[in-house]
Structure 1
Amino acid sequence: MASKNPKPKPVMLDVDGVEVKLSNPDKIYFPELGEDGGRKADLVEYYRAMSLTGPLLDAVGGRPTFLQRFPDGVEGDEIYQKHLTKYHPDHVESTRIVFPSKRSGQAFCPRIPADVVWAANLGTITLHTWPTVDPDNDHPDQLRIDLDPTETRDFDDVRAVAIDHVRPLLDELGYTGFVKTSGSRGIHVFVPIRPEWDFIATRRAVIALGRELERRAPELVTTSWWKEERGERIFIDYNQNARDRSMAAPYSVRKSATARVSTPLTWDELAAVDPEDLTITTVPALVERRGDPWVDIADHAVGLEPLLEMVARDDADGLGDLPYPPSYPKMPGEPPRVQPSKKVAEHWDDDGNPIEK
């Protein structure tokens, strides 16, 4: 007996001359949009359009890219995929990455629009990129400033910190910050740099920048890794610059019922934007109308020297490294990786290593 609900046949898409399969096009991925823009086909079409017109592929092209997949929509199970699948079309490429454990792997490395559409058909909602470009995945070409609000803060609070404090400091240091919404309540600022320093240096550079922001706005900003110390302040998540950490790519869709997009903006746009308005149904028209504000990001790359001078100053003042995420091996110069409220001083040596009893 034939099934009452036969599985729909896949649709074959022509993506700039490359054939890509679209399966289950009518599956609802974003429940609040439903059949009016919330189907898998709508997600795939968004990624196809944004890749063909340029800005999304400019942002992810040649970068190690992790896939945050929801094959049954944003209310279903999540698959966070760091390694490229063994079986994939011939046009899909990978790039070698080295994890903090020293193990290596092959990450998805999009090159052409069809690559992005292929990933979207796997149920990829968000593309998470490294701050490096193949083949040199050991030297970042971007600093990434992640302004992360507490539950008591909203987008307006984060916006004020970005405009009133982050941008002026970057200007003073001779850096150009490129700003985007996170797709939720946060804000991301990417700073292009020359790829001449390793992840240790770029992470310490963002720590130094965060500490300077703390000095200027101590009631608003913190670099404390421990939530118990943050209070209601905006957290500068410096560990987003550690090896193997990735961030939502510009123009990536985020896990939300309305398909919000992590959207690049001008600083003037940031002052008035409502991030709820930036979705897969609105962002393509925005880009068509005013272009991509990040189109020349690579032209603004500069050196790390000003921030490394701040690192040296902090070190001289006794402000060394800060904790890494718990999954990382113990790093040289890292302080004890234990919550301050649980730390017993005599259990740790001067280098932050636990003393065995």
Structure 2
Amino acid sequence: MSGDDTRTVRAGKRTVRVHRPGKVLFPGAGDAKEYTKGDLVDYYRAVAPFMVPHLRGRPLMLERHPDGVDGPRFMQKNTPDSYPDWIARVEVPKEGGTVCHPVCEDTGTLLYLADQAALTLHRWLSRTGRLERPDRMVFDLDPAGDDFEAVRSAARLLGELLDELALPSWLMTTGSRGLHVVVPLTGSDDSDAVREFSRAVADTLARAHPAALTTAARKKERGQRLYLDVGRNAYAQTAVAPFSVRALPGAPVATPITWSQLDDPAVHARRWSVADAVEQARTRPWAGLSRGGRALGPARRRLDKLRG
């Protein structure tokens, strides 16, 4: 397939033109397979029924790599005027003006963004119309090195604490080194309250396991401890979207998993890639997440009791 040709892809009522589908975005090296833009589009088309529901109504930040993962990276918030009118947008106030974020409402939009070499989509934890009231809370388990056993252990400890607080939680590999622990919310608490609560949870866990866990923002203060990062819960921050491809060799994917899968020794942060993430998606590991939202008031009172 020539790197200079185009192909068209049908997505519902949209037809998306893919430019240079043969362009290599992920060079093959060692055990890592080579993947082209056409491969990226095919993956996102296949995973769209499972991915788009997690994107609808949420402002996006795009991580673009026009020359592939070995080229420069562009983090794009504002939607260019050249994007087609049928791509949804939302105006978000910022200091000195506004930002017009893209919103992915359908498969056509997802494929158009893939054609723009937006390898990874980072989504807000809140939705348009209620931007200051997130319906997701995220704990990012970030190990000091590439030690997934430390991540696995931290996830179990955090899951047990969230269970004590009567907060349902769900897991996602990041496609990089760690895990995200995701808690669905009702949207009744604002971003400041969610971040404050998540920090209190992380601090409680770190104090109980000071040799293994930390909430220290500075890397030099962490040592070899796993970092419990709650910064994504602040207003206007983003988290990598479920089923997003990461800009790493082999095209690993941020993949939802079940708690039982965490016990599988074969599972690690880069376990799934564009080659097999759709198979995992078809098992619907997050079935029920959207119906499990909680308000933080009762959990906050339980946490206060635990902390004495």
| TM-score interval (norm. to shorter) | over 0.9
- In the alignment, does 2:116 pair up with 1:116? no
Query: Which sections of structure 1, spanning at least 5 residues, go unmatched?
Result: 1-5, 318-357
- In the alignment, does 2:125 pair up with 1:131? yes
Q: Is the 8 A contact 1:181 1:264 kept in 2?
A: yes
Cα deviation for residue 295 of structure 1 reads 3.0
Q: State how many pairs are aligned.
A: 304
Q: Identify the structure with the greater strand proportion.
A: 2
- Aligned AA (1:154): D
Deviates most, 256-265 or 224-233: 224-233
Aligned-residue sequence identity (percent) comes to 30
Give the whole-Å Cα distance in 2 for the aligned partners of 1:15 and 1:68.
Answer: 22
Q: Is the 8 A contact 2:3 2:21 kept in 1?
A: no
SS of 2:137's equivalent in the other structure is: strand
SS of 1:95's equivalent in the other structure is: strand
Give the whole-Å Cα distance in 2 for the aligned partners of 1:189 and 1:295.
Answer: 15
C-alpha RMSD of the superposition: 2.3
Query: Which sections of structure 2, spanning at least 5 residues, go unmatched?
Result: none
Q: Which of 257, 260, 281 is equivalent to 1:287?
A: 281
- In the alignment, does 2:270 pair up with 1:276? yes
Cα deviation for residue 102 of structure 1 reads 6.9
Give the whole-Å Cα distance in 1 for the aligned partners of 2:142 and 2:268.
Answer: 17
Give the whole-Å Cα distance in 2 for the aligned partners of 1:211 and 1:64.
Answer: 29
Q: Alpha carbons of 1:33 and 1:94: their partners in 2 closer, same or farther (altered >3 Å)? A: farther
Q: Which of 174, 178, 182 is equivalent to 1:182?
A: 174
| Paired position in structure 1 for 2:35 | 38
Please show how residues 1-357 of structure 1 align to structure 2 within 5 Å.
Answer: 8-32=4-28, 38-51=35-48, 54-99=49-94, 101=95, 103-151=97-145, 154-163=147-156, 165-272=157-264, 273-288=267-282, 290=283, 292-309=284-301
- Using CA pairs under 8 Å that are at least 6 residues apart, name the structure with larger relative contact order, 1 or 2: 2
Cα deviation for residue 138 of structure 1 reads 1.2
SS of 2:101's equivalent in the other structure is: strand
- Aligned AA (1:22): V
Q: Alpha carbons of 1:33 and 1:22: their partners in 2 closer, same or farther (altered >3 Å)? A: farther
- Which of 1 and 2 has greater Rg? 1
What TM-score, normalized by structure 1, do the two folds share? 0.80
What's the CA shift string for 1:94-137, capped at 9, x where partnerless?
112234x4743211111111010010100011000000112211
Ranges of 4+ aligned residues in structure 1 off by more than 4 Å = 33-37, 310-314
Give the whole-Å Cα distance in 2 for the aligned partners of 1:200 and 1:98.
Answer: 17
Deviates most, 212-221 or 180-189: 212-221
Q: Is the 8 A contact 1:147 1:235 kept in 2?
A: yes
